[in-house]
């Protein structure tokens, strides 16, 4: 009987719901599942106080996260650790980077033991920007010795302008319901239920020993949808985040009041960036489309790897 390790972190329950839908077919197929929920020490608040939300920015970007409590597997003295056939890693994005608890896990000794030499399936759920964070995640998984064989992404499919309001409202109040005619925040119920197709496909693949080869098992299932127009904005944002995170860290450590002025400056920059630079960047991209087309197509293909955006196997799951 094959064993699957699930490692996840979710504050609001959005990603836990996706994981629950995804693993149900694995359990139904008789696979043995061990689920590790990452527990940062101390826990991050949800809903977020305003400055706490800003204060996690520098360390998220610089991959210098708050540590997690020991895993339940650690408590069990490492028993059975060698037996996992597959690891499913479910993670949210924080500031274009893997959320701190996931980054802490991937940089831990436990990750080296648990991921070393094993196939890893990545499952991300976020607002709409996971590309840079995925580049970082791939590096961290490889450094822990894991083999990233599949990647599926869930994003908020409402218009970007609406999510610009509904996501912060959700983060700061915990409320994600319909609001002044705007759609509910986050990944919708239909997308969440649709995560089951990945569990079904993984159960079938495990029955055929496919996890032993370095080939994706979730092709043809619309695993990802890359938004080509966001690629260059995200890359520019990532570069700016590197600079800002360095500046803020020079003003003080996480939680210290003396870095609040720098965080406020960053906030102003962020708002100006979102309301001016991003639309300007999109307009320029449209003008320069013929010149950028090949580069954007190549980057789109890069981010669609390994599982792809194809839908060839979707009919079997509808
Ligand atoms: C501090 C913070 C920063 C975030 N930054 C991003 C981001 O850069 N890109 C994005 O698409 N979503 C971002 N999100 C949204 C999360 O990826 C995620 O969708 C949301 O926190 C809900 O996840 P949960 O399952 O942990 O509740 C951010 C959320 C938080 C709390």
With the most atoms of ligand 1 within 8 angstroms of its CB, the residue from 94, 100, 123, 174 to mutate is 94
pLDDT of residue 79: 52
Q: What's the confidence (pLDDT) of residue 75?
A: 58
Alpha carbon nearest to ligand 1 atom 6, residue: 94
Output the domain CATH number for residue 68.
3.40.50.360
Rounded to 5 degrees, φ, ψ at 225 are -135, 105
Centre of ligand 1 to C-alpha 116, Å, is 27
* 89 close to 144: Cβ distance less than 8 angstroms: no
- 43 and 185 inside one domain: yes
Q: Say if ligand 1 is within 6 A of residue 94 CB.
A: yes
Pair 139, 85 in one domain: yes
The span from the first CA to the last CA of the chain, in angstroms, equals 28
Q: Is 95 in the pocket of ligand 1 (CB under 6 A)?
A: yes
126 and 213 fall within a common domain: yes
Q: Is the CB of 92 under 6 A from ligand 1?
A: yes
Residues 183, 67 within the same domain: yes
Distance 29 CA to ligand 1 centre (A): 32
Per-residue pLDDT tens digits for 198-222: 999 999 999 999 999 989 999 999 9
Nearest to 241 by CA among 269, 272, 281, 278: 269
DSSP H stretches of helix in 107-156: 109-115, 131-143
**Residue 15 beta carbon below 6 angstroms from any ligand 1 atom:** yes
| Strand-pair category, 119-126 with 86-91 | parallel
Question: What is the overall mean pLDDT for the chain?
Answer: 94
Q: Which residues pair with 121 in a beta bridge?
A: 88, 150
pLDDT in tens, 58-84: 999 999 999 999 998 865 555 556 689
Residue 255 and residue 283 in one domain: yes
| Dihedral pair phi/psi, residue 13, rounded to 5° | 100, -5
Residues 28 and 177 both lie in one domain: yes
Question: Domain limits at 262?
Answer: 231-297
**Residue 103 and residue 222 in one domain:** yes
Say how many domains are in the chain: 2
pTM over 0.75: yes
């Amino acid at each position: 009987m094959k064993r699957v390790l699930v490692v996840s972190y979710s504050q609001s329950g959005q990603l836990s719901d996706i994981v629950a839908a995804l693993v149900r077919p694995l359990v139904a197929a008789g696979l043995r599942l061990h689920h590790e929920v990452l527990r940062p020490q101390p826990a991050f608040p949800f809903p977020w106080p305003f400055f706490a939300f800003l204060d996690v920015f520098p360390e998220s970007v610089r991959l210098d996260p708050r540590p997690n409590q020991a895993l339940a597997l650690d408590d069990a003295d490492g028993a059975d650790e060698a037996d996992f056939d597959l690891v499913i890693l479910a993670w949210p994005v924080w500031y274009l980077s893997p959320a701190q608890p996931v980054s802490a896990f991937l940089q831990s000794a436990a990750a080296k033991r648990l991921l070393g030499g094993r196939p890893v399936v990545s499952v991300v759920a976020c607002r709409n920007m996971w590309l840079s964070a995925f580049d970082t995640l791939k590096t961290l998984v490889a450094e822990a010795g894991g083999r990233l064989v599949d990647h599926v992404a869930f994003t908020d499919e409402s218009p970007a302008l609406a999510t610009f309001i509904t996501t912060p409202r959700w983060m700061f109040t915990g409320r994600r319901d319909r609001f002044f005619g705007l759609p509910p925040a986050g990944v919708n119920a239909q997308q969440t239920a649709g995560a089951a197709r990945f569990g079904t496909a993984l159960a079938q693949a495990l029955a055929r020993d496919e996890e032993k080869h370095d080939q994706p098992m979730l092709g043809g299932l619309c695993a990802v949808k890359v938004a080509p127009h966001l690629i260059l904005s995200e890359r520019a944002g990532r570069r700016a985040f590197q600079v800002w995170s360095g500046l803020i860290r020079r003003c003080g450590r996480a939680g210290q009041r003396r870095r609040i002025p720098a965080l406020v400056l960053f906030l102003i920059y962020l708002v100006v960036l979102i309301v001016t630079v991003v639309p300007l960047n999109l307009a320029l991209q449209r003008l320069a489309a013929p010149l950028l087309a090949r580069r954007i197509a190549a980057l789109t293909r890069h981010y669609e790897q390994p599982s792809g955006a194809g839908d060839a196997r979707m009919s079997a799951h509808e």
